[in-house]
Each structure stands twice: as C-alpha cells, then as structure tokens.
Amino acid sequence: MTRIVAAGVVLVVAVEVLAFALADRAVVVAVTGAALAAALLWIRWHLTRRVDADADNAGDATSTSLQRWLSRTETLISWADSTRADWDRRLRPMLARQFELAVGSRTRGGRDSIDATGRMLFGEHLWSWVDPDNISRTGATEPGPGREVLDEILQRLARL
C-alpha cells in the first residue's frame, strides 16, 4: 500500500514537472488533476481488490472450520459403531465429562450421587454406556453400542 501511494505521488510530481517544462501553463492544472485522479483510482482499485480477497479468506476459514467439525463428528460416530474398546477409550470419557459438567453443581454428594443421577437421567441401559467406572477390559472383542445409543445419550444430555 505504501508503494502504491509513493508511486502515485511520484507520478503526480513527474507530471507537474513535465507540465511546467512545457511553455503552456494552462495545461498544468488539467494534467496534474488527471494524474491525481489516476493515482486515486489506482489506490481505490487496489483497496477493493484486497477487501474481496479478505472476504474470500474469511469464507475459506469458515468452510475449513465446518469441514473440521464434520470430520470430527464422523469420527465420533464411527467410534460408536466400532468396538467397545473404542467406545471406552474415546467416547465414554467425553460423555462422562459432559454429564458431570451438566449435573456437577447438583450432585455434590460424591460418586454415589452421580451414579444415582445418571441412572435416573439415562436409565439402566444407557447409563452403562456413560458411567466412567464401567470400562471393560475385554472390550476389543465386544461390539460398541452403535450410533442409535450415542444419539439417545446426546439427546438426553441436550435436555439438561
């Protein structure tokens, strides 16, 4: 930007020197005005082009962020459809953390209180997939609960 302004100033000065070198002084004002107008149009064109490029970059950043979120969501769903070991290693800690954050202020009574709240909220079947203490050591051979269970757990967490 500084170079463009400097080039515009040099252009205007050069045109004025050239106009003064000519014998006709009436042309100086018109030629200098034309050179100044050209310099200002050049600066304006450069600024509008930069704004368009910035808008494109902002759109790219948004689409990149959305693409990352979509990829992460697809990965989470694939872990739900995978083995129980994947569920225990990747999804259970996240779900348990979200549950404890959602009800933590209401369950200061400790582990038994959290367990009772989880059973009331999720039911016996779903709580077994959220409970952070229910990790299977032989989960590599057991199937995971699937995306339907993950969907139901997330819906119940959203209701909190």
Taking the C-alpha atoms of residue 60 and residue 159, their distance in angstroms, rounded to an integer, is 33
Pair 114, 100: CB distance under 8 Å? yes
In this prediction, residue 109 carries a pLDDT of: 64
Coil, strand or helix at 83 = strand
Pair 129, 149: CB distance under 8 Å? yes
In this prediction, residue 52 carries a pLDDT of: 60
In this prediction, residue 51 carries a pLDDT of: 62
**Dihedral through CA 102, CA 108, CA 112, CA 115, nearest 10?**
-10
What b/e sequence results for 68-95 when a residue is b if at least 16 CB atoms lie within 10 Å of its CB, and e otherwise? eeeeeeeeeeebbebbbbbbbebbbeeb
Coil, strand or helix at 143 = strand
Per-residue pLDDT tens listing for the chain (160 residues): 678 778 878 888 887 777 777 766 677 777 778 888 888 888 888 888 766 665 656 667 788 888 898 898 888 888 888 888 888 988 999 998 998 888 875 556 677 888 888 899 999 999 999 998 888 888 788 888 888 999 999 999 988 7
Sorted by sequence, the CB contacts under 8 Å of residue 45 that are 6+ apart come out as none
Kindly list the domain boundaries of the chain, sorted by start residue. Answer: 1-66, 81-160
In this prediction, residue 41 carries a pLDDT of: 87
Residue 93, both tokens:
């800690």
